């Protein structure tokens, strides 16, 4: 039948009970309910407590049934493995070996000691020989393990701001790839006014910027900010003396507030913003898709004004916007300037005249090639300083892999003619004459971009030929509508051949011997050789 134990388990219950094992341990060992164990022992007469008192289990009378009896329910305040005391005294408690130490255990619980410590003291001070779990069950049976209800704390206006990070909706980065985002949520504890912003990384700079944007959106600064022990804010978590990030400490001094981390592992210390993050994820972002981070932040800003601020809060029973209007005068005034957050490090200018910052590259003047420079950067700008901390360059912060090269940082010798533009080429051609200028302009009109190289070839001829010769060749080429470098080069070569001068031969000259002398020389050589 269903819900019945087989013979082997029935015999095992009796044998384990005879060996002194408790009913709970028997049930856990055999994988049956504790009620089934009790019924088997009662049916066999092995349960001495109930056999002596004459108690009979109510409900099912089948000793093999695994169903719990339907009569009276066991008292949850009685320690496991014990029967209920008849007169309420500790002496009539179960067979638990903790009963003789009842008062000792109560005294130690009053001191705030846990079950582990009580067990250790019982072993060391009183020679306790039972197991640790026996103490745990006994303490639980005393009812001292019941958790107290959480206490809700409400604060005065302008006193507290709670902040936290959650998961935002993915967006595409500059390369078109989808990236995970994090939603920053800040909630004023009194009015529940919130601020939301999405970032791609939980860095110290992003955390400070989000806090700063929160202050400017609220129009003031609260006395305290509650945050958890995330690495972007807390270097070493400690409830009594946490170690905050140095730049975050400077930020707190700049705006005149105190950052208080929660107890480690206790998110309920900032329960208002914990629920606030869920509210943003469920009400604002769930089911939404965004192409860019800016698009998501613009949507959240509109949602904050039209939805979050206009709702009636479930706890305060007030409209958030109206409650914030009463709290805003209690906020401290903003600082005169924004916090100058920046990173600082030393970099060496590479052979290509750039330095690497955040996996992006920024140009420096040629005279600093191979030198060490100081760099200060944040999410907006990159400033390059020399050894006297004088600014020598400034760039906008780029995405990783990008180059920022300023024109005045390129040596003139390394500036390509095409980079300088077609106007630069035409200005040089004008020095060759009007005909050359007319031919160059017609070449650009006929050949487009590839005509730039043709004009470069024309300019290169000025190193070998005179301007007038080039101008004459350009006039001929323009009349025949021939716009190629080779045509100009052939015309120049033909002009050089035509203009070559010839020299007349001289018959008589003091340095030239007469033909008769050469004849005598040859005769002497011949006759002398024959002798």
User: What sign does the dihedral 385-386-391-396 (CA atoms) show?
Assistant: negative
Output the CA torsion 85→89→92→98 (10° steps): 110
Residues 350, 325: one domain? no
Do 302 and 177 share a structural domain? yes
Residue 425 within any structural domain of the chain: yes
Six token digits for residue 498: 């035509």
Query: With left for phi above 0 and alpha for psi between -120 and 50, is residue 88 left, alpha or beta?
Result: left
Q: Which two tokens stand for residue 207?
A: 């955390």
Range of the structural domain that residue 399 is part of: 343-414
Residue 79: per-residue pLDDT: 42
Q: Is residue 150 included in any domain, yes or no? A: no
58 and 175 belong to one structural domain: no
For the chain, the average pLDDT equals 80
Residue 430 has pLDDT above 60, yes or no: yes
In a shared domain, residues 49 and 194: no
Together in a domain, 164 and 192: yes
Residues 187 and 258 in one domain: yes
Report the CATH number that the domain containing residue 399 is assigned in CATH: 2.40.50
Tokens (6 digits) for 404: 């920022």
Between CA 444 and CA 451 the distance in angstroms is 5
Domain final residue, candidates 388, 414, 440: 414
Provide the pLDDT confidence category of residue 415 given band limits of 50, 70 and 90: low
From 32, 50, 73, the end of a domain falls on 73
**Running DSSP on this structure, what letter comes out for residue 325?**
H
- Give the three-class secondary structure for 265: coil
Domain-terminating residue out of 330, 361, 383: 330
CA nearest to 59, candidates 72, 73, 43, 70: 70
Indicate whether 283 and 431 sit together in one domain: no
What is the rounded distance in angstroms from the CA atom of residue 132 to the CA atom of residue 151?
Answer: 32
Q: What is the mean pLDDT of residues 400-411?
A: 84
Sheet with 224-227, edge to edge strand ranges:
194-199, 182-188, 160-167, 224-227, 258-261
CATH number at residue 293: 3.30.420.10
Beta-sheet pairing, 381-385 with 391-396:
antiparallel
The verdict on residue 336 lying in a domain is: no
313 and 393 inside one domain? no
pLDDT of residue 3: 55
Tokens representing residue 476 in the block: 């001929």
Number of domains in the chain: 4
pLDDT digits (tens, 9 = 90+) for 344-359: 888 999 988 899 998 9
User: In this structure, is residue 338 part of a structural domain?
Assistant: no
84 falls within a domain: no
Q: Read off the pTM.
A: 0.49
Residue 50 placed within a domain: yes
pLDDT at 325: 94
Q: What per-residue confidence (pLDDT) applies to 185?
A: 94
Same domain, 397 and 301: no
Between 522 and 39, the higher pLDDT residue:
39
- For residue 220, being part of any structural domain is answered with yes
- The 10s digit of each residue's pLDDT in 268-326 is 888 888 888 999 999 899 888 898 999 999 999 999 999 999 999 988 899 999 999 99
Whether residue 454 is predicted with pLDDT greater than 90 in this model: the reply is no
Q: How far is CA 47 from CA 31, 140, 192, in A?
A: 20, 24, 61
DSSP 87-133: SS-STTS-S-TTGGGHHHHHHHHHTT--HHHHHHHHHHHH---S-HH
Please tell me the predicted confidence (pLDDT) of residue 55.
42
Instruction: List Cα–Cα distances, 246 to 204, 232, 235, 385, in angstroms.
Output: 10, 11, 9, 23
Q: Are residues 410 and 423 in the same domain?
A: no
Residue 12 token pair: 């095992």
Of the CA atoms within 13 Å of residue 499, those in its CB half-sphere come to: 8
Residue 142 falls within a domain, yes or no? Answer: no
Spatial contact of 304 and 194, defined as CB atoms under 8 Å apart: yes
pLDDT tens-place string over residues 313-329: 988 899 999 999 999 99
Whether 244 and 264 share a structural domain: yes
Which tokens go with 43? 């049916």
Q: Which residues contact 401 (CB under 8 A, 6 or more apart)?
A: 359, 360
Verify that 360 and 317 share a domain, yes or no. Answer: no
């Amino acid at each position: 039948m269903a819900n019945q134990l087989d013979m082997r388990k029935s015999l095992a219950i009796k044998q384990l009970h005879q060996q002194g094992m408790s009913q709970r341990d028997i049930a856990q060992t055999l994988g049956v309910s504790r009620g089934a164990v009790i019924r088997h022992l009662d049916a066999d007469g092995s349960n001495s407590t109930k056999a002596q008192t004459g108690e009979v289990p109510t409900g099912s009378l089948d000793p093999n049934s695994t169903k719990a009896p339907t009569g009276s329910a066991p008292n949850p305040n009685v320690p496991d493995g014990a029967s209920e005391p008849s007169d309420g005294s500790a002496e009539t408690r179960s067979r638990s070996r903790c009963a003789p130490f009842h008062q000792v255990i109560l005294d130690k619980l009053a001191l705030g000691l846990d079950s582990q410590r009580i067990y250790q003291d019982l072993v060391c001070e009183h020679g306790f020989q039972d197991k640790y779990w026996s103490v745990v069950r006994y303490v639980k049976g005393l009812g001292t393990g019941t958790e107290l209800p959480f206490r809700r704390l409400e604060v005065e206006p302008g006193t507290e701001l709670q902040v936290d990070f959650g998961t935002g909706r993915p967006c595409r980065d500059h390369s078109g790839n989808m990236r995970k985002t994090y939603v920053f949520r800040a909630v004023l504890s009194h009015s529940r006014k919130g601020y939301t912003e999405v970032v791609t990384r939980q860095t110290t700079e992003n955390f400070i910027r989000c806090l700063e944007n929160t202050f400017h959106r609220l129009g003031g600064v609260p006395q305290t900010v509650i945050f958890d022990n995330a690495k972007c804010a807390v270097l070493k978590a400690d409830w009594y003396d946490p170690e905050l990030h140095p730049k975050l400490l400077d930020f707190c001094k700049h705006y005149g507030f105190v950052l208080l981390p929660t107890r480690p592992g206790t998110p309920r210390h900032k329960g208002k913003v914990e629920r606030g993050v869920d509210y943003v994820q469920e009400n604002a972002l769930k089911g939404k898709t965004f192409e860019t981070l800016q698009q998501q932040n613009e949507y959240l800003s509109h949602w904050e004004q039209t939805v979050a601020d206009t709702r009636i809060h479930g706890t305060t029973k007030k409209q958030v916007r109206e409650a914030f209007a009463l709290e805003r005068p209690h906020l401290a005034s903003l600082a005169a300037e924004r916090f100058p957050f920046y990173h600082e490090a030393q970099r060496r200018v590479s052979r290509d005249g750039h330095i690497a910052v955040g996996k992006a590259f920024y140009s420096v003047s040629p005279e600093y090639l191979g030198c060490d420079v100081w760099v200060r950067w944040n999410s907006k700008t990159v400033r390059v300083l020399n050894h006297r901390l004088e600014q020598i360059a400034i760039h906008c912060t780029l995405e990783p892999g990008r180059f920022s090269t300023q024109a005045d940082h390129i040596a003139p010798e390394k500036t390509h003619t095409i980079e300088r533009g077609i106007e630069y080429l035409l200005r040089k051609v004008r020095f060759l004459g009007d005909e050359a200028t007319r031919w160059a302009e017609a070449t650009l009109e006929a050949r487009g971009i590839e005509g730039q190289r043709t004009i470069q070839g024309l300019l290169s001829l000025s190193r070998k030929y005179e301007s007038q010769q080039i101008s004459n060749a350009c006039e001929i080429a323009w009349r025949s509508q021939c716009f190629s470098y080779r045509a100009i080069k052939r015309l120049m070569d033909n002009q050089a051949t035509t203009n070559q001068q010839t020299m007349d031969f001289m018959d008589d000259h003091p340095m030239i011997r007469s033909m008769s002398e050469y004849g005598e020389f040859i005769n002497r050589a011949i006759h002398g050789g024959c002798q």
